[in-house]
Structure 1
Amino acid sequence: MGLFSFIKNTGAKVFGIGKTTEEEAAEARAKAKREADAAELRLEEAAARNLEETITDLQLQVEDLNIFVDDDMARISGKAYDQATREKVILVVGNTAGIATVDDNMTVEHVEPEAQFHTVVSGDTLGKIAKHYYGNAMKYPEIFEANKPMLTDPDKIYPGQVLRIPSLD
């Protein structure tokens, strides 16, 4: 007869031994997806631990703080000392690159009125924000103090940042 040539990696394997190229490719894709999912989970866990450390470093008092990051959503639980601490924790987490949504499941030890939140837009200053909420631009230190320790300078705010605007009562 003679010598016949075939394409080496096509067709089914004899007696079901081995896999077709398509089956091998599908398995490789599935394995790569599992590995990518595991790597993403490790990154999300590391991000959550880093956020917890940041909150501790900022000396925000939260008992049993737990943060879970899933894609661009963070879920927070624990018992905050007061409402201001709770809101600051939400802002620390929410003002983090990659986080779009914060699911707040914290409780508060000392209940007090909730603050409003303000998203900074281009051209905003703390004075302009104070004028809007309080009717007096000179009340900007109230907003600055309410956002410490996340803010370290009243002139350093940026568009997209969310700030606490406490009630003056």
Structure 2
Amino acid sequence: MGLFSFIKKAGAEIFGIGNADPDDAAEVAAEELRLEKAAVNRLKEIIKDFELKVEKLDIFIDGDVAMISGLAYDQATKEKVVLIVGNSNGIAIVDDQMIVEHVAPIAQFHTVVSGDTLGEIAKGFYNDAMKYPIIFEANKPMLTHPDKIYPGQLLRIPVLD
């Protein structure tokens, strides 16, 4: 459990574009609430599509902060859910309140910077660039190819056995 910081403008687009008149505060607030609810529904769909095992998943978004609760099957599942939510454009902080059913070592995290490759990241964490597939596998299904990472993206770096 804890707070995770993300780069608000990096990541997948989950919020729609609002049409509310900025001079009408009630209309702006209603539009913001509508967008937040739509974003929560989309995030839940993505988590379900990735077949991540989380019971009683609840996501609450308030501005650029997302709070997640539920029972994750294992530590890796929990971390992937946090990354899916946090690596969404518009989210700056994830308040992770999930409980883990099967406890395992907690992974480290790395924020991708311009010029990073999974090989360079593996070299930094594991002293072996050829261990990049471990990082790639740990971030599937969010990553679809080892070369498709972007600055600002937060990656799981699992503990080696």
Q: CA RMSD in A?
A: 1.2
Structure 2 CA distance for aligned equivalents of residues 156 and 71 of structure 1: 28
Count the aligned residue pairs: 140
| Cross-structure match for 1:158 | 150
Residues 1-169 of structure 1: pairs in structure 2 closer than 5 A: 32-169=24-161
Q: Which amino acid in 1 is paired with 2:105?
A: P
| Cross-structure match for 2:9 | none
Superposed CA offset, 1:11-70 (max 9, x none):
xxxxxxxxxxxxxxxxxx9x9211211111111111111111110011111001111111
The alpha carbon displacement at 1:90 in A equals 0.2
TM-score by length of 2: 0.85
Q: Which amino acid in 2 is paired with 1:100?
A: A
The alpha carbon displacement at 1:112 in A equals 0.4
Q: Which amino acid in 2 is paired with 1:37?
A: A
Computing the radius of gyration from Cα coordinates, the structure with the larger value is: 1
Structure 1 CA distance for aligned equivalents of residues 31 and 137 of structure 2: 39
The answer for unaligned runs of 5 or more in structure 2 is 1-20
Which has the larger share of strand? 2
Q: Which amino acid in 1 is paired with 2:49?
A: D
TM-score by length of 1: 0.81
Which has the larger share of helix? 1
The alpha carbon displacement at 1:152 in A equals 0.6
Superposed CA offset, 1:128-147 (max 9, x none):
00000000000000000000
Structure 1 CA distance for aligned equivalents of residues 46 and 124 of structure 2: 31
* Runs of 4+ more than 6 Å apart: none
Identity level (%): 69
The alpha carbon displacement at 1:119 in A equals 0.2
Structure 1 CA distance for aligned equivalents of residues 28 and 154 of structure 2: 32
Q: Secondary structure, in 3 states, of the residue corresponding to 2:149? A: coil
Q: Which amino acid in 2 is paired with 1:46?
A: A
Structure 2 CA distance for aligned equivalents of residues 34 and 126 of structure 1: 46
Q: Which amino acid in 2 is paired with 1:60?
A: L
Q: Which amino acid in 2 is paired with 1:53?
A: E
